[in-house]
A and B are shown apart, each in its own frame.
Chain A
Amino acid sequence: EAQVTQNPRYLITVTGKKLTVTCSQNMNHEYMSWYRQDPGLGLRQIYYSMNVEVTDKGDVPEGYKVSRKEKRNFPLILESPSPNQTSLYFCASSLSGGLGQPQHFGDGTRLSIL
Protein backbone atom coordinates (compact mmCIF):
# COMPACT_ATOMS: atom_id res chain seq x y z
CA GLU A 1 0.00 0.00 0.00
CA ALA A 2 1.30 3.43 -1.00
CA GLN A 3 1.75 5.49 2.12
CA VAL A 4 3.63 8.10 4.11
CA THR A 5 4.51 6.83 7.58
CA GLN A 6 5.33 9.08 10.50
CA ASN A 7 6.65 8.05 13.91
CA PRO A 8 5.84 8.60 16.65
CA ARG A 9 2.17 9.52 16.35
CA TYR A 10 2.13 11.15 19.78
CA LEU A 11 4.95 12.48 21.95
CA ILE A 12 5.04 14.44 25.19
CA THR A 13 8.45 15.72 26.13
CA VAL A 14 10.21 18.54 27.95
CA THR A 15 11.86 21.74 26.84
CA GLY A 16 15.40 21.28 25.53
CA LYS A 17 15.34 17.52 25.03
CA LYS A 18 16.30 16.78 21.44
CA LEU A 19 13.79 14.78 19.45
CA THR A 20 13.40 13.39 15.96
CA VAL A 21 10.20 12.65 14.10
CA THR A 22 10.74 10.16 11.32
CA CYS A 23 8.98 10.17 7.96
CA SER A 24 9.19 7.47 5.34
CA GLN A 25 7.43 7.05 1.98
CA ASN A 26 7.27 3.95 -0.19
CA MET A 27 6.26 5.61 -3.46
CA ASN A 28 9.73 6.56 -4.76
CA HIS A 29 8.72 10.21 -4.52
CA GLU A 30 11.34 12.90 -5.07
CA TYR A 31 9.61 15.74 -3.20
CA MET A 32 9.05 15.60 0.55
CA SER A 33 7.89 18.24 2.98
CA TRP A 34 7.09 18.94 6.62
CA TYR A 35 4.17 21.06 7.87
CA ARG A 36 2.88 22.12 11.22
CA GLN A 37 -0.82 22.67 11.83
CA ASP A 38 -2.10 25.04 14.48
CA PRO A 39 -5.68 26.14 15.23
CA GLY A 40 -6.70 29.07 13.06
CA LEU A 41 -3.44 29.03 11.09
CA GLY A 42 -3.93 26.08 8.77
CA LEU A 43 -0.87 24.19 7.59
CA ARG A 44 2.43 26.01 7.40
CA GLN A 45 5.41 24.60 5.58
CA ILE A 46 8.55 24.08 7.68
CA TYR A 47 11.02 22.57 5.23
CA TYR A 48 10.86 20.81 1.90
CA SER A 49 13.21 18.68 -0.16
CA MET A 50 13.25 18.45 -3.92
CA ASN A 51 15.48 15.36 -3.90
CA VAL A 52 18.24 13.60 -1.98
CA GLU A 53 20.65 16.06 -0.35
CA VAL A 54 18.52 19.05 -1.45
CA THR A 55 16.52 20.86 1.23
CA ASP A 56 14.97 24.34 1.44
CA LYS A 57 13.27 26.44 4.07
CA GLY A 58 9.53 26.86 4.08
CA ASP A 59 7.64 29.59 5.89
CA VAL A 60 8.44 28.58 9.49
CA PRO A 61 11.86 26.86 9.60
CA GLU A 62 13.16 28.39 12.84
CA GLY A 63 13.94 25.78 15.50
CA TYR A 64 13.83 22.85 13.09
CA LYS A 65 16.34 20.85 11.07
CA VAL A 66 15.87 18.26 8.37
CA SER A 67 18.03 15.90 6.39
CA ARG A 68 17.51 13.93 3.18
CA LYS A 69 20.20 11.29 2.97
CA GLU A 70 17.92 8.74 1.34
CA LYS A 71 15.06 9.24 -1.07
CA ARG A 72 12.47 7.52 1.12
CA ASN A 73 13.27 9.20 4.45
CA PHE A 74 12.92 12.81 5.60
CA PRO A 75 13.32 13.17 9.37
CA LEU A 76 12.38 16.34 11.24
CA ILE A 77 14.76 17.24 14.06
CA LEU A 78 14.06 19.55 16.98
CA GLU A 79 17.48 20.15 18.55
CA SER A 80 16.16 22.09 21.55
CA PRO A 81 12.35 21.94 21.59
CA SER A 82 10.39 24.79 23.15
CA PRO A 83 6.70 25.02 24.16
CA ASN A 84 5.87 27.11 21.06
CA GLN A 85 6.69 24.05 18.98
CA THR A 86 3.76 22.19 20.49
CA SER A 87 1.72 21.38 17.41
CA LEU A 88 0.40 18.77 15.01
CA TYR A 89 3.02 17.88 12.41
CA PHE A 90 2.50 16.35 8.97
CA CYS A 91 4.95 14.89 6.53
CA ALA A 92 4.01 14.79 2.85
CA SER A 93 5.49 13.59 -0.42
CA SER A 94 4.82 13.93 -4.13
CA LEU A 95 6.31 12.43 -7.26
CA SER A 96 8.16 15.66 -7.97
CA GLY A 97 8.11 19.27 -6.84
CA GLY A 98 6.63 20.38 -10.14
CA LEU A 99 3.15 21.50 -11.00
CA GLY A 100 0.40 18.95 -11.26
CA GLN A 101 1.78 16.85 -8.43
CA PRO A 102 -0.50 16.77 -5.38
CA GLN A 103 1.01 15.64 -2.12
CA HIS A 104 0.32 12.50 -0.12
CA PHE A 105 0.19 13.12 3.62
CA GLY A 106 0.98 11.00 6.65
CA ASP A 107 -1.51 10.78 9.50
CA GLY A 108 0.32 13.30 11.67
CA THR A 109 2.43 13.49 14.81
CA ARG A 110 1.07 15.29 17.86
CA LEU A 111 3.96 16.89 19.79
CA SER A 112 3.53 18.42 23.23
CA ILE A 113 6.54 20.28 24.63
CA LEU A 114 6.22 21.02 28.35
Chain B
Amino acid sequence: GESVGLHLPTLSVQEGDNSIINCAYSNSASDYFIWYKQESGKGPQFIIDIRSNMDKRQGQRVTVLLNKTVKHLSLQIAATQPGDSAVYFCAEKTSYDKVIFGPGTSLSVIP
Protein backbone atom coordinates (compact mmCIF):
# COMPACT_ATOMS: atom_id res chain seq x y z
CA GLY B 1 0.00 0.00 0.00
CA GLU B 2 0.96 3.64 -0.26
CA SER B 3 2.36 5.69 2.56
CA VAL B 4 -0.07 8.32 3.71
CA GLY B 5 2.19 10.16 6.10
CA LEU B 6 5.82 10.73 5.11
CA HIS B 7 6.63 13.00 8.04
CA LEU B 8 4.69 11.37 10.83
CA PRO B 9 5.87 10.96 14.40
CA THR B 10 6.78 7.29 14.77
CA LEU B 11 6.44 5.00 17.75
CA SER B 12 8.17 1.62 17.76
CA VAL B 13 7.22 -0.96 20.39
CA GLN B 14 8.03 -4.58 21.04
CA GLU B 15 5.27 -7.10 20.52
CA GLY B 16 3.50 -7.70 23.81
CA ASP B 17 4.40 -4.32 25.30
CA ASN B 18 1.88 -1.56 25.92
CA SER B 19 1.71 1.40 23.52
CA ILE B 20 0.77 4.96 24.33
CA ILE B 21 -0.06 7.37 21.52
CA ASN B 22 -0.54 11.01 22.36
CA CYS B 23 -2.52 13.79 20.77
CA ALA B 24 -2.83 17.49 21.52
CA TYR B 25 -6.13 18.88 20.33
CA SER B 26 -6.75 22.44 19.28
CA ASN B 27 -10.21 23.60 20.33
CA SER B 28 -11.11 23.92 24.00
CA ALA B 29 -14.78 23.90 22.95
CA SER B 30 -14.51 20.42 21.36
CA ASP B 31 -16.69 17.96 23.18
CA TYR B 32 -16.30 14.71 21.30
CA PHE B 33 -13.04 12.92 20.52
CA ILE B 34 -12.38 9.88 18.38
CA TRP B 35 -9.39 7.66 17.67
CA TYR B 36 -9.04 6.11 14.23
CA LYS B 37 -6.63 3.50 12.91
CA GLN B 38 -5.49 3.62 9.30
CA GLU B 39 -3.76 0.69 7.67
CA SER B 40 -1.84 1.09 4.45
CA GLY B 41 -4.13 1.44 1.44
CA LYS B 42 -7.30 1.70 3.50
CA GLY B 43 -9.54 4.34 4.99
CA PRO B 44 -9.47 5.24 8.69
CA GLN B 45 -11.28 2.78 10.94
CA PHE B 46 -12.98 3.74 14.20
CA ILE B 47 -11.29 2.43 17.37
CA ILE B 48 -12.76 4.21 20.37
CA ASP B 49 -14.34 7.54 21.29
CA ILE B 50 -14.93 9.66 24.36
CA ARG B 51 -17.19 12.56 25.29
CA SER B 52 -15.84 15.60 27.10
CA ASN B 53 -17.80 14.75 30.26
CA MET B 54 -15.55 11.71 30.75
CA ASP B 55 -11.82 11.43 31.38
CA LYS B 56 -11.36 7.73 30.65
CA ARG B 57 -13.01 5.09 28.54
CA GLN B 58 -11.99 1.50 27.97
CA GLY B 59 -12.55 -0.85 25.10
CA GLN B 60 -11.09 -4.19 24.16
CA ARG B 61 -7.31 -3.78 24.68
CA VAL B 62 -7.62 -0.02 24.20
CA THR B 63 -8.10 2.85 26.62
CA VAL B 64 -8.57 6.52 25.84
CA LEU B 65 -7.67 9.19 28.38
CA LEU B 66 -8.81 12.79 28.12
CA ASN B 67 -7.22 15.71 29.95
CA LYS B 68 -9.24 18.82 29.15
CA THR B 69 -7.06 21.06 31.30
CA VAL B 70 -4.12 20.69 28.93
CA LYS B 71 -6.14 19.67 25.86
CA HIS B 72 -4.50 16.29 25.64
CA LEU B 73 -5.78 12.93 24.50
CA SER B 74 -4.02 9.59 24.66
CA LEU B 75 -4.65 6.12 23.31
CA GLN B 76 -3.27 3.16 25.21
CA ILE B 77 -3.03 -0.22 23.51
CA ALA B 78 -2.41 -3.19 25.78
CA ALA B 79 -0.28 -6.14 24.70
CA THR B 80 0.50 -4.65 21.31
CA GLN B 81 0.33 -7.08 18.40
CA PRO B 82 1.82 -6.94 14.88
CA GLY B 83 -1.70 -6.27 13.54
CA ASP B 84 -1.71 -3.02 15.50
CA SER B 85 0.94 -1.56 13.18
CA ALA B 86 -0.76 1.37 11.46
CA VAL B 87 -1.17 5.13 11.54
CA TYR B 88 -3.34 6.39 14.39
CA PHE B 89 -5.31 9.64 14.22
CA CYS B 90 -7.15 11.54 16.88
CA ALA B 91 -10.11 13.68 15.82
CA GLU B 92 -12.11 16.34 17.65
CA LYS B 93 -15.62 17.57 17.06
CA THR B 94 -17.74 20.38 18.42
CA SER B 95 -21.45 19.59 18.49
CA TYR B 96 -22.71 19.64 14.89
CA ASP B 97 -19.66 21.34 13.50
CA LYS B 98 -16.65 20.28 11.50
CA VAL B 99 -14.36 17.42 12.37
CA ILE B 100 -10.67 18.21 12.87
CA PHE B 101 -8.05 15.49 12.61
CA GLY B 102 -4.60 15.49 14.16
CA PRO B 103 -1.51 14.80 12.00
CA GLY B 104 -1.30 11.14 13.02
CA THR B 105 1.27 8.84 14.63
CA SER B 106 2.77 5.82 12.94
CA LEU B 107 2.95 2.76 15.21
CA SER B 108 5.42 0.05 14.30
CA VAL B 109 5.33 -3.23 16.22
CA ILE B 110 8.58 -5.17 16.40
CA PRO B 111 8.01 -8.95 16.49
User: Which B residues touch A103, using CB under 8 A?
Assistant: 34, 44, 46, 99
Find the B residue at minimum CB distance from A108.
Answer: B43
Q: How large is the interface on A (under 10, 10 to 19, 20 to 34, 35 or more residues)?
A: 20 to 34
Find the A residue at minimum CB distance from B103.
Answer: A42
Question: Which residues of chain B from 28 to 56 have a CB within 8 Å of any chain A CB?
Answer: 31-32, 34, 36, 41-46, 49, 51
Q: Is the CB of B98 within 8 A of A102?
A: no
Q: Is the CB of B89 within 8 A of A99?
A: no
Q: Is B4 an interface residue (CB 8 A)?
A: yes
Given A48-B98, A59-B98: A99 in contact with B51 (beta carbons within 8 A)? yes
Q: Is the CB of A39 within 8 A of B101?
A: no
Q: Which one of B2, B95, B99, B100 has the greatest number of beta carbons of chain A within 10 Å?
A: B99
**B98's contact among A45, A88, A90, A100, by CB below 8 Å, is which?**
A45
Q: Is B70 an interface residue (CB 8 A)?
A: no
Interface SS, B side: loop
Shortest CB-to-CB span from B22 to chain A, Å, is 15
Q: Is the CB of A102 within 8 A of B49?
A: yes
Q: Is the CB of B42 within 8 A of A107?
A: yes
Q: Is A110 an interface residue (CB 8 A)?
A: yes
User: Which A residues touch B45, using CB under 8 A?
Assistant: 105
Q: How large is the interface on B (under 10, 10 to 19, 20 to 34, 35 or more residues)?
A: 20 to 34
* Cα-based distance from A114 to B4 in the complex (angstroms): 20
Shortest CB-to-CB span from B68 to chain A, Å, is 15
Q: Is A44 an interface residue (CB 8 A)?
A: yes
User: Which A residues touch B3, using CB under 8 A?
Assistant: 39
Stretch at the interface among B5-13, B59-67, B74-82: B5-13
User: Which A residues touch B98, using CB under 8 A?
Assistant: 45, 48, 56, 58-59
**B44's contact among A41, A44, A58, A90, by CB below 8 Å, is which?**
A90
Q: Is the CB of A39 within 8 A of B43?
A: no
Question: Which residues of chain B from 65 to 111 have a CB within 8 Å of any chain A CB?
Answer: 89, 91, 93, 95-96, 98-104
Q: Is A106 an interface residue (CB 8 A)?
A: yes
The chain B residues found within 8 Å of chain A, CB to CB, are 2-8, 31-32, 34, 36, 41-46, 49, 51, 89, 91, 93, 95-96, 98-104
